[in-house]
Structure 1
Amino acid sequence: MSRRANPAQAALFDEPAAETPAGDFIPLAKQFDALPADWKTLLTPCIAQANWPELCAFVDGERAAGKPIFPTDVFRALHLTPVDDVRVVILGQDPYHGTGSVDGREIPQAHGLAFSVPAGIRVPPSLRNIYKEIEAEFGQKLPGTSGNLEGWSQQGVLLLNTVLTVEQGQAASHAKRGWERITDCLLEHLARVGHKRVFMLWGSHAQAKRALLPEGHLVLEAPHPSPLSAHRGFLGCGHFRAANDWLVAQSQPTIDWLKPQAR
């Protein structure tokens, strides 16, 4: 069952304008402290073995220096999907580093969910190919044109990037700063608690994480859905039906992939 932010976490769920003053950000350590108890328990050993103080100092320092750092809600994916509810993990790389226009104001494309963008922002090319594949697999058109995937999060799809922050306009600017160790550890711990899960690994970066996953899970691999590689095997991969077929065999609820938006 999905959850929404409690009042103490409400600020983590606002969509900030790109011009938000640097002083308005929530320090990274405070965002970690606001995590739901289940994710905080799972992640605490990961934080302990990573260079967490240095990562916090870097991210907070970049923001304090006036650099726009996306997203504001760093752990949004974890707030929306409880540990026990995760049935599918879709692994991204780092957050979108651009902005989009909504009601005449520029806001970040990134809002804490891999491949997802806030409602009203133009659907990015990789997500358009994901939608195209879903429509082909199920023989139906997706309703609406939003790229907000919170509906999947509410159904148990963890939309996780391996790097959780980025500087505006600078792709991979926060890579190799410590996020990878934390998200690798998250994947390892998640794969060893509770029920078996589906892991969708698209592209070589995501597929490098397969070694972290023990036997028994369904691991689905394909080229990245980017326009540069989607036609090399992502389109036609059949992952979304395959995931649901496997979930049925595991006596777990399926995902309604045709309902990516929140209900």
Structure 2
Amino acid sequence: MSGQEDWHRKNNLKSNRFALESRTWTMDLCQIEMENINSEIKLDSSWKQHLHLEFETERMQKLNKFLSAEYKAGKTIYPHGDDYFAAMNLTPFDKVKVVIVGQDPYHGPGQAHGLCFSVQDGVRFPPSLRNIFKELHDDVGATIPQSGSLTKWAQEGVLLLNAVLTVEDGKAAAHQGKGWEEFTDKIIHVLNEEKENLVFILWGSYAQKKASFVDRKKHLVLEAVHPSPLSAHRGFFGTKPFSKTNAYLKSKGIGEINWNLV
């Protein structure tokens, strides 16, 4: 068995164990008492307070059934089940200062781990992430890191939210239209309504559709083209999103983000 085949086998086994054993989703929630929700969903308690009813919706039931069927069919899904809600688990609701919206997870082996634009340690930088790091360096002088993991940003209060939280191996956008979009839209709605003085960083037309959910009188919205090599030179480079974010936070008396990943 090749190294890649072994990686896929282990990933599928882990994902299947999550789907069959951890019992985190709606089909299980329908059968338990509401007071047990906090012990059933692998989601930070601050987010459960705002989102627990979402797990009872018909669309989440359908999404759960879809993912279960995909696992049973032997398909490899990224990220690992334990990382579906990594963005929220690393950035609790009360700690959110900034929201960066992505589209869906990377679909290559070992890349996705639940944070938009981020890859796991030791994985080659995708082109968009490389451009983000270039802008980061040019904007605030941060050293370009050796690792592509943005976990430190998440811990600083940057919610790295993909609109779709899962993807099939090798098939970009395979899980679009399955129910994730409504769930993550709800996250943005809740943040918009319950918090003030957030910064929403929206790169590319897909992410910018989410701007309609944000009250610009309460929050700052920074929009630019996507950092993809296809568009980065047409309005991403030079937009200074990192320094603009900190300037806004400082003006509101909120602690700035330490963007340095080194």
TM-score, normalising length: structure 1: 0.85
Structure 1: gaps spanning 5 or more residues: 1-15, 100-107
Given the superposition, is the C-alpha separation of residues 90 and 195 from structure 1 closer, same or farther in structure 2, using an over 3 Å criterion?
Answer: same
Determine the C-alpha separation between the residues in 2 that align with 1:78 and 1:158: 7
Bigger shift: residues 179-188 or 41-50 = 41-50
Could you tell me which residue of structure 2 aligns to residue 97 of structure 1? 107
Could you tell me which residue of structure 2 aligns to residue 12 of structure 1? none
> Bigger radius of gyration, 1 or 2?
2
Q: Name whichever structure is richer in helix by fraction.
A: 2
CA shift for structure 1 position 141? 2.6
Given the superposition, is the C-alpha separation of residues 140 and 179 from structure 1 closer, same or farther in structure 2, using an over 3 Å criterion?
Answer: closer
Determine the C-alpha separation between the residues in 2 that align with 1:210 and 1:50: 26
AA partner of residue 27 (structure 1)? A
Determine the C-alpha separation between the residues in 1 that align with 2:246 and 2:11: 43
CA shift for structure 1 position 64? 1.7
Between the aligned residues of both structures, percent identity stands at 46
Deviations 1:177-220 (A, max 9, x none): 11001111111011111332000000000001111112310000
The yes-or-no answer on 1:39 pairing with 2:47 is: yes
Residue correspondences, number: 236
Given the superposition, is the C-alpha separation of residues 84 and 21 from structure 1 closer, same or farther in structure 2, using an over 3 Å criterion?
Answer: closer
The yes-or-no answer on 1:88 pairing with 2:98 is: yes
Aligned ranges for residues 53-68 of structure 1 at < 5 Å? 53-68=61-76
Determine the C-alpha separation between the residues in 1 that align with 2:101 and 2:61: 25
Quick one: higher RCO (CA 8 Å, sep 6+), 1 or 2? 1
Determine the C-alpha separation between the residues in 1 that align with 2:183 and 2:79: 17
Answer whether contact 1:31 1:74 (CA < 8 A) is retained: no
Could you tell me which residue of structure 1 aligns to residue 38 of structure 2? none
Determine the C-alpha separation between the residues in 1 that align with 2:111 and 2:13: 20
Bigger shift: residues 16-25 or 55-64 = 16-25
Could you tell me which residue of structure 2 aligns to residue 121 of structure 1? 123
The yes-or-no answer on 1:183 pairing with 2:191 is: no
CA shift for structure 1 position 241? 0.4
Given the superposition, is the C-alpha separation of residues 53 and 118 from structure 1 closer, same or farther in structure 2, using an over 3 Å criterion?
Answer: same
Answer whether contact 1:22 1:65 (CA < 8 A) is retained: no
Aligned ranges for residues 1-263 of structure 1 at < 5 Å? 17-20=7-10, 22-25=12-15, 26-27=18-19, 30-31=23-24, 33-49=41-57, 51-72=59-80, 73-99=83-109, 108-142=110-144, 144-215=145-216, 216-259=218-261
Answer whether contact 1:202 1:225 (CA < 8 A) is retained: yes
Structure 2: gaps spanning 5 or more residues: 1-5, 26-40
AA partner of residue 9 (structure 2)? E
Determine the C-alpha separation between the residues in 2 that align with 1:17 and 1:40: 32
